[in-house]
Structure 1
Amino acid sequence: MTGKRILISDPSLRDGNHAVRHQLTPDQVRAYCIRAEAAHIPVIEVGHGNGLGASSLQLGEAAASDAQLLAAARESLKNTQLGVHIIPGFATIEKDLKPALDAGVDVFRVASHCTEADVTDRFIMFARNAGKTAYGVLMMSHMASPEVLLEEAQKMEAYGAETLVIMDSAGNYLPDDVRRRIGLLVENLDIPVGFHAHNNLGCAIANSLAAIEVGATMLDGCSRGFGAGAGNAQLEVLVAVLHRLGYETGIDFYKVLDLATFAETEVMETVPIISSTSVVSGLSGVFSGFLKPATRIANDFNVDVRDVFFELGRRGVVAGQEDIILEVAEALSKRRQFA
């Protein structure tokens, strides 16, 4: 395996926005990007936690607009590519993708729920026709069988996706789960395969390694794990382990350590931990970004947030259905009153 190249993408300034209620500022983005550039991070993903166009009362209002965050990043990046996360429905081509193109975005990561790849066709094609890199991203991938994931991935490949990424959005996977899915994709797709890990069950690094064992060539990692819920695969740890195993990333190890220290002291409110609630979130298969709103709403209704997560998991709730958290908490409260 010595010398094999793994592409690292850093979504700290996008997934991490979940952890600070989407309140990252242009100054924080600018300062982080300067240090990420110095560390030779290949790709930096920037924006609202749910991607372009997602700032709203339901999903969380951002402290700065997409345009402001992208401008701050773009002025600080020369060799590092600028990426964005796009969920059709939150984002539109006219309102969001065209301005992002004008802002100098290099990588368009077009995402859908794991069984809804059909909605990504126009968005992937738009990015490709504009001469930009387009990834297909399947979110909440634990909710589909490996065979269904392959079918959806093949649609994205047909639309023009140049890399296919599956997200363990709930932090639900164990390494064998990853091997089965990534292995099937690698065997049957003609494009590279990537993996995005969350750490709810403490397996983010192990799961990332499992992905490359069966052929993935791209991994996501966030400084200090800065991301939704229990956080993501920790970027500096991921780089250290990959280098020890003989993989090449092109990343300066000392400077990525410095980047992580900067993120902890100047960008993050708290370092992600695997809290008891995060464990329940992972086991129940619920989107990691629900941790803060579910905790707040459960407290408001004086119900056990663990019960909230298991009921959300039973209902198969996904990102964008935050209003159901309130419905579940209210129902649990009434049930307790009449018990």
Structure 2
Amino acid sequence: MRAIENLQILDCTLRDGGYYTNWDFSKDLVEEYCRSMEELPIDYVEIGYRSTPLNGYLGEYFYCPDYVMEALKKAMPSKKLVIILDEKNIRVEHLDSLLTSCIPYISMVRMAIDPANFERAITLAKAVKTMGFEVAFNVMYMSSWKNDPSFLDMLNGLDDTIDYFYMVDSYGGIMPQEVDEIIELVKSKTNVTLGFHGHNNLEMALANTLMAIEGGCAMVDATITGMGRGAGNLRTELLLTYLDSKNIRKIKFTPLSRVVGAFESLKIRYGWGTNLPYMFSGAFSLPQKQVMEWVGMNRYPIGSILNALNNQKDSLEDNMKLPVLSLKETFDSAVILGGGKSALNHNVAIKKLVEEKNNFCIIHAGARNVSTYIDIENKQYYALAGFESEKLLKTLGDVAKLEKKTCVYPPFPRNMGTIIPDEVKRVSVELEAIDFTGASKDSPMTLSFQIALDLGVKNIYLAGFDGYDTTIDQIQFVLAQENQNILNDALKSKQLKIIAITPTKYKKVKTTSIYSII
């Protein structure tokens, strides 16, 4: 590979890695990162987003308040700092409040752009340029450009507005030859300096980046340990090591090893990097955002995720229709059993409650505690989503134990498609609709409340919904919020009277002791 003397390297760990940490990083980690960046041959450091307020919690490096920019500039005085704007959320009228205070600290403003919004982005870029920043376009979905390259015609006349035109392999599925072809296509439209941002779904980020450099890209992106959205990015340490071996960049391995070690510890917790679903999504240019959510929630097995992606590829809503839950059988009361330890610890009392009262059923929100209650004569329903059916079989061992039990799945079509073991299919039904909440359509808690509503239940006793401790990770936090929102919506139902009979950290629900009612 011919060396490019003026090659610029941009590290975007804090920005792209924020998709895993919700843009929060510990102070110690950021300090180590800054020390290492200052010692390494990195030219630009992208520190995060600047954004107008969006719904939900997004952390420090999504908004990059002034004190953050000031501190990072002090820690990395020799580096050009970068922030990125998500064009879909930003308009010209937002720029004064977003960018004026950035001027002392930020050298370049990048803009994440959907090709469909290219014309609108030009207007925004011209306004950013007048504020004195370098401007870079990060144009997404590179693998689909050859299908409709018409937006590239609008590059004509923008040489004085755009400093870098970045080609972004959003799906991580492009191949080196395609990189070369697309570079030639872009070069035929503009003289703007080119950049490349590769994702690593098919583990081609290094090869594609080297091809981009060979083709004339003067700036490329990387992140420490490849930390980034979905399958992640080209690893900074890999790129620097390669360039060092070719005498293009000389590096100090001590600071590099320090920062890699710090982020490897974080990787153990969040587990970024490619896997079979990310490989599939990259190969067929399917959105990574949804795959990241499915993998991160740990609700679905790899097989279910691949099934869902295959359905998307083939434009199928779902691959299986089940009978709808029969409404002929109704009940006055139900115990909904969650997966918490209290459903196990207080099982003797809960069984007495169910067995001694009339017209009572049990609804399991998942499969965790089914074996404890398997022998109760009362009608039992299993609310199953994701890989709960596989858990159910593993827990029960003997499929004969499913006799007189009903497995209930979300309404057709299901986001993940449907994978149900044959042994379970014969006792499986689906809900006709979920109409009491919009918080989630495939949470076991959602399914349980909808089953109760459909069966005419008036009194619900919650057991095993212990909630989460204060020291929880991001996935647990999301699940806790989801469950609370579902519970809030169920509490609004005029049909249902809901009482927790075991200890719970969920709010708003009335709690009484199981021992006071048996």
Q: What is the TM-score normalised by the length of structure 1?
A: 0.81
Partner of 2:339: none
CA distance in 1, matches of 2:93, 2:169: 30
Please give the secondary structure, in 2, of the residue aligned with 1:47: strand
The residue that corresponds to 1:62 in the other structure is 59
Q: Confirm or deny: 8 A CA contact 1:26 1:72 kept in the other structure.
A: no
1:258-293 C-alpha deviation (Å, 9 max, x unpaired): 332233236873453321121122123133343331
More helix by share: 1
1:291/1:27 CA distance change after superposition, 3 Å: farther
C-alpha displacement at 1:184, in angstroms? 2.3
Would the aligned equivalents of 1:25 and 1:63 in 2 still touch at CA under 8 Å? no
Tell whether the 8 Å contact from 1:200 to 1:278 is kept in structure 2 after alignment. Answer: yes
Larger Rg: 2
Note the 1:67-146 alignment, pairs <5 A: 67=65, 69-95=68-94, 98-103=97-102, 104-145=105-146
Contact 2:277 2:302 in 1 (8 A): no
Matches within 5 A, 1:242-257: 242-248=243-249, 252-257=252-257
Q: 1:18 to 1:195 in 2, by over 3 A?
A: same
CA RMSD of aligned residues (A): 3.3
Matched, 1:227 2:228: yes
Q: Which residue of 1 aligns with 2:47?
A: 46
Which stretch shifts more, 95-104 or 272-281?
A: 95-104
Change beyond 3 A, Cα 1:52–1:32: farther
1:160 matched to 2:158: no
SS at match of 1:137: strand
Whether the 8 Å CA contact 2:180–2:215 is kept in 1: the answer is yes
Structure 2 contact 95–128 (Cα < 8 Å) conserved? no
The letter for the 1-side match of 2:90 is A
Q: Deviations over 1:151-197 (max 9, x none)?
A: 16716835711110010011011111111112322344212111000
- Residues 215-244 of structure 1 show CA distances to partners (whole Å, capped at 9, x for unaligned) of 111110111101111110011111122233
State the partner residue of 2:400: none
- Tell me the secondary structure at the aligned position of residue 231 of structure 2: coil
How far apart are the structure 1 equivalents of 2:206 and 2:416? 41
2: distance between equivalents of 1:116 and 1:335? 32
> Is the contact made by 1:174 and 1:207 (CA closer than 8 Å) also made in structure 2?
yes
Aligned residue pairs total 321
Instruction: For residue 89 of structure 1, give the secondary structure of its aligned residue in structure 2.
Output: helix
CA pair 182-189 structure 1, distance change in 2 beyond 3 A: same
| Secondary structure, aligned partner of 2:413 | helix
Q: 1:2 to 1:22 in 2, by over 3 A?
A: closer
Q: Structure 1 pair 131/279, CA: closer, same or farther in 2 (3 Å)?
A: same
- Partners of 1:137 and 1:164 within 8 A in 2: yes
Q: What secondary structure does 1:299 align onto? A: coil
Matched, 1:332 2:414: yes
| Partner-residue secondary structure (3-state), 1:247 | coil
Contact 1:83/1:109 (8 A) holds in 2: yes
Report SS of the residue matched to 2:186: helix
Cα drift, residue 95 of structure 1: 4.2
Shift of the alpha carbon at 1:137? Answer: 1.4
SS of residue in 2 equivalent to 1:106: strand
User: 2:204 maps to what in 1?
Assistant: 203
Question: SS at the partner of 2:256?
Answer: helix
2:259 corresponds to: 259
CA deviation profile, 1:13-35 (whole Å, cap 9, x unmatched): 00111122333356543442232
Q: Is this contact kept in 1: 2:114–2:139, CA < 8 A?
A: yes
Seen in structure 2, the aligned counterparts of structure 1 residues 12 and 55 have a Cα distance that, compared at 3 Å, is: farther
SS at match of 2:135: strand
Q: What's 1:319 paired with?
A: none
User: Aligned letter for 1:309?
Assistant: L
Distance 1:251 1:191 in 2: 29
Distance in 2 separating the partners of 1:240 and 1:172: 24
- SS across alignment from 2:202: coil
Letter in 1 for 2:238: V
TM-fit CA distance, 1:301: 11
Flag structure 1 segments of 5+ consecutive residues without an equivalent: 316-327
Larger mean Cα displacement after TM superposition, 154-163 or 79-88:
154-163
Q: 1:9, 1:44 within 8 Å by CA — same for their partners in 2?
A: yes
Aligned to 2:281: 281
AA aligned to 1:295 is: V
Q: Using the alignment, how far apart are the partners of 2:53 and 2:154 within structure 1? A: 24
CA apart distance, 1:334: 9.5
In the other structure, the counterpart of 1:322 is none
User: Which residue number corresponds to residue 23 of structure 1?
Assistant: 24
CA contact 1:142–1:172 (8 Å) conserved in 2: yes
Give the structure, 1 or 2, with the largest relative contact order (CA under 8 Å, sep 6 or more).
1
Partners in 1 of 2:286 and 2:411 — Cα distance?
15
Amino acid at match of 1:76: A
The unaligned stretches of length 5 or more in structure 2 are: 316-409, 419-428, 431-518
Cα 1:281–1:53 change in 2 (3 A) is: farther
Q: Please name the residue that 1:180 is paired with.
A: 181
